[in-house]
A = this chain, B = another copy of it.
Amino acid sequence: MFLYTKNFEEQKEKAMVGLRKALEEDKVDHDIIPLLEKINALDNYFTTSSCSGRVSVMEMPYFGDKLNSAWLGKWHREVTVEEVLGAIGKHKTGQLWFLVRSPILHVAARTMEDAVKLLNLSIGLGFKYSNIKSVSHKKLLVEIRSTERMDVPLGEGGELWVGEEYIERIVNLSNAQMRRFKGKLKRLEDEIGNLKK
């Protein structure tokens, strides 16, 4: 038996202190704040972390080595070709990647029934990779996540493998993905109140 229901109120209080601090320090993506507030206003849920989705240019020694990776550019909105070219211009070492990541929200639920309700709502609104991320005495954690993603190798060791025309293509595609998942976030914001019933 996991004791997450018993510990829910205490954990929610802690998380809300952390969120207020993050908000004061301007560490929360602005366009996701209204959604976080709506979730935390619900009796049976609270948020523990979030990202509103992003596009980035990243340098890494090899794929998956997050520890030694460095962002040359990172945006939580649509980007211009010039912005991406500017970031690419800083490339010096390791592998260079163009990445798109869908929004991701971690939401603790009071009971398994509450978790499954949120999971099903999220999947129904297009967040098809949503799942229960972890179950422990402290927390029962739902992950809300969508399928949009790009992982495009651009070069290595200071050398570029693609030209400006290709960058323009992938910027257009990534902006389309960005519009798509921002639309899903908006729908979630509109519908999340239904979990009150």
Residues of B within 8 A of A148 (CB): 63-64
Residues of B within 8 A of A176 (CB): 62-63
Residues of B within 8 A of A133 (CB): 131-132
Quick one: copies of this chain in the complex? 2
Cβ of A4 to closest chain B Cβ, rounded Å: 11
Interface size counted on chain A using CB atoms at 8 A:
34
Residues of B within 8 A of A75 (CB): none
A136–B117 Cα distance when bound, in Å, is: 11
B-contacting residues, A152-173, CB 8 Å: 152-153, 156, 161-162, 165-166, 169-170, 173
Q: A63-B176, A95-B173 are in contact. List 9 more A-B contacts (CB 8 A).
A: A62-B176, A112-B112, A115-B135, A119-B135, A132-B132, A150-B151, A151-B151, A161-B166, A162-B162
